[in-house]
Amino acid sequence: MAVINFGGVEETVVTREEFSLERAKEVLKNETLAALGYGVQGPAQALNMRDNGFNIIVGQRKNSRSWDKAVEDGWVEGVNLFDLEEACDRGTILMNLLSDAGQIATWPVIRDRLTEGKTLYFSHGFGLTFNDQTGIVPPANVDVVLAAPKGSGTSVRRLFLMGRGINSSFAVHQDYSGHAREKAIAIGIGIGSGFLFETSFQKEVFSDLTGERGILMGALAGVMEAQYQLLRKKGHTPSEAFNETVEELTQSLIVLVGENGMDWMYANCSTTAQRGALDWRHKFREATAPVFEELYDSVATGNEARITIEANRQPDYRARLEEELAELRNSEMWQAGAAVRALRPN
């Protein structure tokens, strides 16, 4: 384990140097990992584990697009691709990578196949943390662990293929075997994590839901829309408004932040940009702080979970979602974005 100082706070993290892939294989050598669900995280984690040489199978409903995708990815029915029930029977580590709604719907199937000594694995703390709403309560005689990549399944797979890996958190909710922590870390290494930091199921889901609704997606989209609309109202063209709002951020500045931090990005911009950014960041922080407080409270009280679960239970949820996404896609800002992306040199 490595102890790293994060801004004056010491934190223990697990890197691939301290916990090698070979050690992870040794820990899991007698296990059959069953990746349940082949939607968002499922393909990335299952393929990464397969490429790393672990004994892994996939469980997915037949006659579905996800089943067909699994076949396209080289999983073979009856060999390492099974329906959900058989995969649960065969697996000793059940990797519950279904959507939150899918986890609720299939919990009786999984629960009934969690025989003594098995391990239940999650990549998100939602189902367990909000079990008063989801009904997901594991039996006492199994290990319950988590490894949560800090990115989409697409990023998990892409960074793995680049030889880099994505950072993940890990947690142990229930240690029946006495080896749950070791198994959680081994799985985290197996799926290609760059390094792992310890958390709890509750902290993982609280931070995750806040981040998704906040700066990672919801706040980012909302602030972009506000700036774009302002520039358009002031007479700027769609191309100029989009480039100054989105293109420069995604194609230049955020890359610099990722490389060496915000201060390094500032240092590599003009003095005019530096002065303005340093001044105005305080205004934006103070303006948005109350919104983030409201957001975190909504997550912590279970309100966001309730909204999500109720929405997913509606029979027309998918159709309504597509309408909302189409509205976003067809907005002037993102139509301008499509045009700008088409003009990028190959």
Spatial distance between the Cα atoms of 210 and 100, rounded to a whole number of angstroms: 16
Report residue 223 as tokens. Answer: 């602030």
Spatial neighbors of 226 by CB under 8 A, at least 6 apart, are: none
Spatial distance between the Cα atoms of 10 and 33, rounded to a whole number of angstroms: 33
Question: Does 236 participate in catalysis according to the annotation?
Answer: no
How many angstroms separate the most distant Cα atoms in the chain?
67
Bridge partner residues of 148 (DSSP):
169
Report residue 107 as tokens. Answer: 């919990």
Q: CB–CB of 110/137 below 8 Å?
A: no
Q: CB–CB of 139/119 below 8 Å?
A: no
Q: CB–CB of 304/213 below 8 Å?
A: yes
Nearest Cα to Cα of residue 183 among 171, 166, 165: 171
Nearest Cα to Cα of residue 211 among 296, 101, 288: 296
What is the H or E stretch that residue 5 is in? Answer: strand 2-6
CB atoms within 10 A of CB 81: 22
Place of tokens 């003594």: 116
Catalytic residues: 124
